[in-house]
Amino acid sequence: MIIEIAKKAKAASRALAHLSTAEKNHALLHIAKRMNERREELLAANKLDLDAARLLVESGRMAESLYSRLKLDDSKLDGILSGIEQVARMEDPTARVTLATELDEGLMLYRVTCPVGVVGIIFESRPDALVQIASLCLKSGNAVLLKGGSEAEQTNRALFGIIHAAATERGVPRDAMALLESREDVMALLRAEAFVDLIVPRGSNSLVRFIQENTNIPVLGHAEGICHIYIDRRSELAKAIEIVLDAKIDYPAACNAVETLLVHSAIAREFLPAVADALQSRGVELRCDPRSIEFVAGAKQAIEEDWSTEYCDLILSIKVVDSIEEAIAHINSYGSRHTDAIITEDGEAWEKFFAEVDSAGVYRNASTRFADGFRYGFGAELGISTAKLHPRGPVGLEGLVTYKYKLTGSGHTAAMYAKGGRRFTHKRIDG
Amino acid sequence: MIIEIAKKAKAASRALAHLSTAEKNHALLHIAKRMNERREELLAANKLDLDAARLLVESGRMAESLYSRLKLDDSKLDGILSGIEQVARMEDPTARVTLATELDEGLMLYRVTCPVGVVGIIFESRPDALVQIASLCLKSGNAVLLKGGSEAEQTNRALFGIIHAAATERGVPRDAMALLESREDVMALLRAEAFVDLIVPRGSNSLVRFIQENTNIPVLGHAEGICHIYIDRRSELAKAIEIVLDAKIDYPAACNAVETLLVHSAIAREFLPAVADALQSRGVELRCDPRSIEFVAGAKQAIEEDWSTEYCDLILSIKVVDSIEEAIAHINSYGSRHTDAIITEDGEAWEKFFAEVDSAGVYRNASTRFADGFRYGFGAELGISTAKLHPRGPVGLEGLVTYKYKLTGSGHTAAMYAKGGRRFTHKRIDG
């Protein structure tokens, strides 16, 4: 029963919260060591998944790209092991004091970061995801319930077996990690709000949306990435073209790829033919509104639906606007609060754009593709959150911690302040 | 239509986000000035509500305490005006840079605090709540939709009229504040997730629970406050008694009052008769488990339900435990993750308690009554959140802001790093 597993994980998470940074790092390095010793076993398990997947590819029921993501080999394993070592070297996100105030003599208040508790992760086929997630949860002191894709069942089981054994050898509570295997397990997980504190779905938009709609547990993630680039009237057009090309073609399936280009009418005549030519020569299909289509040979007409579509493909919609206000209104109404950019040399336009665009990332003269935990310098990335409150944007290890207020006194009562004549000092203490 | 009001508030929130700190402070002081000029009008409106309320009190349909909370007079108005001036003096929580990283030469990443957007507040009769909330929202740059109790309808309308007129005189967008008046408005507000970013219920537990269960918008608040004090075997008993008395009798209806006392069996015989005597002599009813009742004359037997009840009254449940582990398990299973305290002179016990108790506030040798925004030094308090993620615990002005990532480049593309040989520097910039 998942509810029992989750309940035990909750209990184990309390013991896990005690482990020192050194203990967690030793456990991580031990996991890497054991995985290195047991490479053969991992590759053999992966071969079983690959054989099953090959049949699906041949009968057209699995994409070749999915097959290659599923495949484990020595060089991928090297990457996975160095990933674990990297997590071991990262700063421990827990037990940091983010606020310290002396409320009165001998009455000290601290805000201290701590693990979230139990994290449920639902991910798709890439076996490296399991290892990365398990490592991040261990480093941040969280118990973790892992549910991988069925295509990677044998690989995930082998990986989990090694990780779990190695972690428990180094003092991690047995119940602090569990592997879920069926779809029914996922539904039970989504309902286990008494024991699960955070759900992290890593997969398709439809998976994320399904999970968001079917649980009361906080979900870290985003369903869609509808990113915009707005070319302001005062922009350097050559620079603008480079940025648009990068944002569209560097990796069109990424959530931070651009989907809609907004162009100020004052520069549309000069800019649009040039950018269209550059995009089309690289195979990008353009879908234009009635005003932009005048300047773009060979474009399709955009329909209303285009403005709210994440293409995940070499397709870009284009619209002419008469003002920055119109651009901002379009972004706030059709966007997904992920990442949006303005190309401008005008400082005031940039200030306005930054203040009014309601997205996790608001950029000037840079590609939307920078919205990524690694590029932001967060180390590993758990996901990108389009929620309005914390965590927002690309989320690294910090997304797996919350905080508690710690108050220490020596018999202090509230009545001393209300009636006893004592006064709060509220003195901020630094670092 | 509420949806139209919320949509306009969303648009107005974008203009509001532009106001400088000085502009917001001038608007706040202008509101205080206008309210001072129009005292007569406010008192006359309040008189209408009081007359209606008096009839309810006389026919037994309203508590006398509610009536006195509803009443406005010159001295209460003085307090309200000085509250507004205090919010004007508080630090602006927006536009703070909480992270600054040079990703590469000329490519700068900042995490900057910004208003949440549109906040919906549902509060009960106290008219000062309307003024405090409107002030906090203005200071933090948020549009606000206010729904007060029907008992205070005339007073709220008069207060809102003055605040709204004064704010717009000082450049606050007209649609950035609205007063909702009917119960149907509340239901529509809870469904306006496209335009409302945060709901703050201020009222009874049942109001909060109803709202949490009927909206997908994040809710800042807590339904219950079931706080515990655990008396460890190594505690100073005189100190422990003072703290328990304070936490129970200082203000029994508060969410941070203690509901359950857990006592280590090694000191039960010595401690329980003394604490019971002190509590009972102040009119506190005690409900004891089978082990504690032995030491407490005149106690009732506790039933299972007692462990999960917030009495809001002079009632305390008591249980004997054999270990700190048992105390922690009880708190984590019956508590409401609000605030829990240990009384101990043992540093190791305290460390364990702090690490394992899963509450927003974890205290040592101090009364649970300190869980309060004012006492924490946050200035005004919006509410206390028992959510696991941010905001957690007592929430001040900080609870009304979120953040965006701001990235500025000069034509930077992601491909430059993948293929062009450029490398991220990821240099943290201080301050």
- pLDDT reading at B281 higher than 80: yes
The dihedrals phi and psi of A316, each to the nearest 5 degrees, come to -140, 135
Q: Least CA distance to A361: which residue of chain B?
A: B405
Select from A303, A367, A370, A357 the least CA-distant residue to A330.
A357
Average pLDDT over residues B69-79: 92
Distance (Å, whole) CA B310 – CA B24: 40
- Name chain B contacts of A377, Cβ cutoff 8 Å: 101, 103, 109, 424, 426
- Mean pLDDT of the B195-199 span: 95
Phi/psi at A201 (nearest 5 deg)? -90, 130
A/B interface, count of CB pairs below 8 Å: 228
d(CA A401, CA A379): 15
Of the candidate ranges A274-278, A381-385, B75-79, B88-92, the one whose mean pLDDT is the lowest = A381-385
Non-local (6+) Cβ contacts of B128 within 8 A are B76, B79, B80, B83
Q: How confident is the model at residue B59 (pLDDT cuts 50, 70, 90)?
A: very high
User: How much is the pTM?
Assistant: 0.90
Using CB atoms, which residue from A197, A365, A414 is nearest to B250?
A: A414
Compute the nearest-CA separation of A129 from chain B (Å): 21
B205: its two tokens: 């537990």
Compare A390 and B54 and report the one with higher pLDDT: B54
CA-to-CA separations, A349 to A235, A236, B33, B327, in angstroms, rounded:
11, 14, 35, 58
Residues of A in contact with B14 (CB under 8 A): 328, 332, 355-356, 358
CB contact under 8 A, A14 and B415: no
| Cα A110 from Cα A113, distance rounded (Å) | 10
Predicted ipTM > 0.95: no
Ordered mean pLDDT values, 10 residues apiece, chain A (431 residues): 94 92 98 97 96 93 86 93 93 94 96 96 84 94 94 95 98 97 91 94 87 89 91 97 97 94 98 98 98 96 97 96 98 95 97 95 97 88 85 87 94 89 89 51
Q: Contacts of residue A257 in chain B, CB cutoff 8 Å? A: none
Q: Are A70 and A125 in contact (CB under 8 A)?
A: yes
B392 with A412: Cβ contact below 8 A: no
Residue B39: CB atoms within 10 A of its CB come to 16
pLDDT given for residue A73 in this prediction:
94
| Distance in angstroms (rounded) separating the CA atoms of residues B201 and B107 | 42
Q: Identify whether the C-beta of residue A316 lies closer than 8 Å to the C-beta of residue A279.
A: yes
Q: What is the mean pLDDT of residues B381-408?
A: 88
List chain B residues with CB under 8 Å of A394: 405
pLDDT for the residue A125: 66
In this structure, is the dihedral angle defined by the CA atoms of residues A310, A314, A320 and A321, taken in order, positive or negative? positive
What's the pLDDT score for residue B389?
84
Closest chain A residue by Cα to residue B401: A389
What is the pLDDT at residue A389? 84
Say which CATH superfamily domain A2-213 falls into: Aldehyde Dehydrogenase; Chain A, domain 1 (3.40.605.10)
* Closest chain A CA to residue B361: A405
The reply to whether residue A365 touches residue B412, judged by beta carbons under 8 angstroms, is yes
State whether the Cα torsion B130-B135-B136-B140 is positive or negative: positive
Is there a contact between B387 and A403 (Cβ–Cβ < 8 Å)? Answer: no
| Mean pLDDT calculated for residue range B35-42 | 97
- Mean pLDDT on B85-90: 93
Question: Which residues of A are less than 8 Å from B9 in CB distance?
Answer: none
| Confidence at B326, pLDDT banded by 50, 70, 90 | very high
Cα A86 to Cα A75, A135, A137, A139, B310: the distances in Å are: 16, 10, 14, 11, 47
The predicted model gives B266-290 an average pLDDT of 98
Residue ranges covered by each domain of chain A: 2-213, 227-370
pLDDT of the residue at B125: 66
**Range A227-370 has CATH code 3.40.309.10:** yes
Q: How far is B347 from chain A (nearest CA, A)?
A: 11
Nearest CA in chain B to A339: B405
Nearest to A361 among B387, B402, B407 (CB): B407
